[in-house]
């Protein structure tokens, strides 16, 4: 496993490989990240993982400074996966002095997470575009847990004609359904016990859709009621939107993204399920 800390080192190392699968991460790796790395290697023959806590996707007052970091642990986990390349850049390598260009993904960036976290997706789109240009991977792998991010990245890759296939991996979950996230480390024992309410609310909506419910407002109200019944949960939003445009739906007459954002104390968690009403 080769560790690259500068763009020049990454480009020189990447030149040794043909097909390359790439999993961008912010580190503090869990099984969701490792699943991306594993699939990248299996499908492309060689794998690259980046670890970079991107400051431009954090809004003012968010957890940039306390975001969990453990480089030694992360590198040990990636070595076990036989990862070929790891990119560990410094902030100044990604955003050198005088940096001023950004990527605006358009309307997808201004709803849901974009509305709650202004500027977030400009930061995401910019850093991912830069990383893809630096690494020139054959395929890049992202987790469905960040569904809106996946849509934004696919849009950027398409609109900017980036020569990479974007691959979305199903959400990795703990045994009780909680979506794996580096931020789960922030949760107290009581908050961790309460947090699976996100997935239970999404599952309940999915079950109602299978039973034939198509009224989006009733389904949103169901999610909201289930989450608000948990005393430790502070609801940010519930959404039932078109799975491609993220426009809120009045009726489920097409594939839909059911998504939620909830705070437990100082920790904000998100989750989602894609609903297929035509198959129900």
Tell me the backbone φ, ψ of residue 170, rounded to 5 degrees. Answer: -55, 150
Q: C-alpha angle with apex 115: 201 to 147, nearest 5 degrees?
A: 50
Residues 50 and 74 sit within 8 Å (Cβ to Cβ): no
Tell me the two tokens of residue 102: 């950004």
Residue tagged active-site, from 33, 90, 110, 120: 33
Inter-axis angle of helices 120-135 and 147-159, nearest 10: 60
Longest Cα–Cα distance in the chain: 57
Inter-axis angle of helices 197-211 and 216-228, nearest 10: 150
Q: How many CB atoms lie within 10 A of CB 237?
A: 17
**Residue 33 catalytic?**
yes
Residues 6+ apart with CB under 8 A from 229: 197
Q: How many CB atoms lie within 10 A of CB 35?
A: 18
Q: What is the Cα gyration radius of the chain?
A: 19
Across 5-14, b (16+ Cβ under 10 Å) vs e yields eebebbeebb
Q: Which segments within the chain are labelled E, that is strand?
A: 2-4, 21-25, 47-51, 85-87, 139-143, 165-169, 233-242, 256-264, 267-275
Can you tell me the distance from the alpha carbon of 179 to that of 196, in angstroms, rounded to the nearest whole number? 8
Q: How many CB atoms lie within 10 A of CB 79?
A: 11
Q: Which segments within 26-169 are labelled E, that is strand?
A: 47-51, 85-87, 139-143, 165-169
Active site residues: 33
């Amino acid at each position: 496993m080769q560790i690259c800390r500068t763009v020049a080192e990454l480009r020189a190392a990447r030149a040794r490989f043909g097909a390359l699968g790439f999993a961008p991460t912010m580190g503090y790796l869990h099984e969701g990240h490792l699943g991306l790395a594993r699939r990248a290697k299996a499908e492309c023959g060689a794998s690259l993982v980046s670890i970079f806590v991107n400051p431009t996707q954090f809004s003012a007052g968010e957890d940039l400074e306390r975001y969990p970091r453990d480089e030694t642990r992360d590198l040990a986990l990636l070595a076990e996966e036989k990862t070929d390349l790891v990119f560990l850049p410094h902030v100044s390598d990604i955003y050198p002095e005088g940096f001023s260009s950004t990527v605006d993904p358009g309307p997808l960036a201004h709803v849901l997470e974009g509305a709650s976290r202004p500027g977030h997706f400009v930061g995401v789109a910019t850093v991912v575009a830069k990383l893809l240009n630096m690494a020139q991977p054959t395929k890049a792998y992202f987790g469905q847990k960040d569904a809106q991010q996946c849509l934004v990245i696919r849009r950027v890759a398409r609109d900017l004609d980036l020569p990479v296939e974007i691959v979305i991996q199903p959400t990795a979950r703990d045994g009780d359904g909680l979506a794996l996230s580096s931020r789960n480390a922030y949760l107290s024992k009581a908050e961790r016990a309460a947090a699976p309410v996100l997935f239970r609310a999404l599952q309940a909506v999915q079950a109602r859709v299978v039973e034939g419910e198509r009224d989006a407002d009733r389904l949103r109200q169901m999610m909201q009621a289930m989450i608000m019944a948990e005393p430790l949960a502070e609801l940010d939003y519930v959404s039932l939107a078109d799975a491609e445009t993220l426009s809120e739906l009045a009726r489920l007459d097409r594939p839909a993204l059911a998504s939620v954002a909830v705070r437990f104390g100082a920790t904000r968690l998100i989750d989602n399920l894609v609903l297929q009403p035509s198959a129900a």
